[in-house]
A = this chain, B = another copy of it.
């Protein structure tokens, strides 16, 4: 018996040591800030009240263009890697709880209104995959078949999106199909209940308006956008956006289009939509009542993310420019009252993707080429804090958990 004693003591020490090693922080999950470390395949998780690093989760794959959604309680983040792998990250234990292959080449992800299902949009094979949000088991695949040949061969389109709506629909675009499909997530078997054809040339992105009612689809090669009333699901109206695309047609190259601005990055405030122009150094302001152009606001570079501060009083814009240019260091702050730039911040090389805390008193910005994330006070424009983060790209605030279409 006495020979057991050392073993027992080791056991006791181990038990207490494990606890001592992990003075596990306790925190609510409603205002976390999750930053993608693109090259390392990891995310860094911050407490956006105290601006503290809470932890990192690694092994998430190729995070180029990676995006994520949150479970409704914001305990989990679902990250889609470019290689089609979905990782379910536990933001409390800071571990990957489940992983599954949803496609070969994937770009978009959404969570259903009821928190039960994840939908992934795939470039390859063209279509969408629906996963159980708990286990990440595939429950349904919907191939985006746009043509069937006499020999039975099927042509599939790349898909983009998806977006969830308050009616528990999922909406996604078919790039080669020029179409938008609507899936009912309430019904057994997840039927495609609507197919809008001839929407335009190459749907590439979409958004849902903050009131939750209207869906907009952007088209790479058409001079309009599609507008759908999700309450009626009757027809896709055409919204004239020639103004936004003027730069593409200008004599000579006005400004190189380094990145295609995405619709999800539009700022919507005070009944206005603040929209990045293509290949021009300006933000175009549309009146959302009739989609008339209200104003064009010059900014430092070609805008990428145009983000409304909570409360809608300002719109923050990052800019793309040539590597090493002043443009790519500049964050422009537009006043929604005066519709002009009220402040330009030299935030560092490759400043992008401003993401506000839930009530907007601070903003997180990726400074990609300086391997850091900067946190600014939005009232004073003072730098509050910087964190070392490896090649940061997208930043996602967990208050998205309660919002449709994000």
Interface residues, chain A, with chain B CB atoms under 8 Å away: 1-2, 5, 8-9, 11-12, 15, 26-32, 47-49, 70-76, 91-93, 113-115, 164-168, 186, 211-213, 231, 269-270, 309-313, 337, 357-361, 379, 398-399, 401-402, 404
- Once the chains are docked, how many angstroms separate the CA of A337 from the CA of B233? 13
A308 to chain B, nearest CB (A): 10
Instruction: Note all chain B residues with C-beta closer than 8 A to A31.
Output: 72-74, 401-402
- Once the chains are docked, how many angstroms separate the CA of A211 from the CA of B166? 18
Are A168 and B379 interface neighbours, CB within 8 A?
yes
Are B91 and A73 interface neighbours, CB within 8 A?
no
Instruction: Note all chain B residues with C-beta closer than 8 A to A164.
Output: 359
Most chain B CB atoms below 10 A, which of A26, A31, A75: A31
A310: which of B48, B76, B166, B359 is its contact (CB, 8 Å)?
Answer: B166
Residue of B nearest to A311 (CB): B166
* Interface of A (DSSP majority class): loop
Instruction: Note all chain B residues with C-beta closer than 8 A to A269.
Output: 211
9 additional A-B residue pairs with CB within 8 Å, beyond A1-B2, A28-B29:
A12-B12, A48-B72, A49-B73, A72-B358, A166-B309, A211-B269, A231-B337, A399-B399, A399-B401
Are A360 and B166 interface neighbours, CB within 8 A?
yes
Q: How many copies does the complex hold?
A: 2
Supply 19 A–B pairs (Cβ within 8 Å), ascending by A: A8-B9, A12-B15, A27-B73, A28-B72, A28-B91, A29-B29, A30-B30, A30-B70, A30-B74, A48-B72, A49-B72, A113-B360, A166-B359, A167-B311, A167-B313, A212-B310, A213-B270, A311-B404, A359-B402
A28: which of B76, B186, B213, B311 is its contact (CB, 8 Å)?
Answer: B76
Are B402 and A358 interface neighbours, CB within 8 A?
yes
Residue of B nearest to A48 (CB): B72
Are B28 and A92 interface neighbours, CB within 8 A?
yes
- Once the chains are docked, how many angstroms separate the CA of A401 from the CA of B74? 13
Instruction: Note all chain B residues with C-beta closer than 8 A to A49.
Output: 71-73, 115
A399: which of B8, B30, B167, B359 is its contact (CB, 8 Å)?
Answer: B30
Residue of B nearest to A399 (CB): B402
- Once the chains are docked, how many angstroms separate the CA of A70 from the CA of B115? 22
Closest 6 CB pairs of A and B: A166-B311, A28-B75, A28-B73, A358-B402, A30-B74, A212-B311
- Once the chains are docked, how many angstroms separate the CA of A269 from the CA of B213? 10
- Once the chains are docked, how many angstroms separate the CA of A404 from the CA of B361? 12
Instruction: Note all chain B residues with C-beta closer than 8 A to A311.
Output: 165-167, 212-213, 404
Are A312 and B213 interface neighbours, CB within 8 A?
yes
Instruction: Note all chain B residues with C-beta closer than 8 A to A74.
Output: 28-31
Most chain B CB atoms below 10 A, which of A9, A168, A337: A168
Residue of B nearest to A230 (CB): B311
A275 to chain B, nearest CB (A): 18
Residue of B nearest to A357 (CB): B72
Residue of B nearest to A11 (CB): B12
- Once the chains are docked, how many angstroms separate the CA of A186 from the CA of B1? 66
Instruction: Note all chain B residues with C-beta closer than 8 A to A337.
Output: 231
Are A398 and B30 interface neighbours, CB within 8 A?
yes
Instruction: Note all chain B residues with C-beta closer than 8 A to A76.
Output: 28
- Once the chains are docked, how many angstroms separate the CA of A11 from the CA of B76? 36
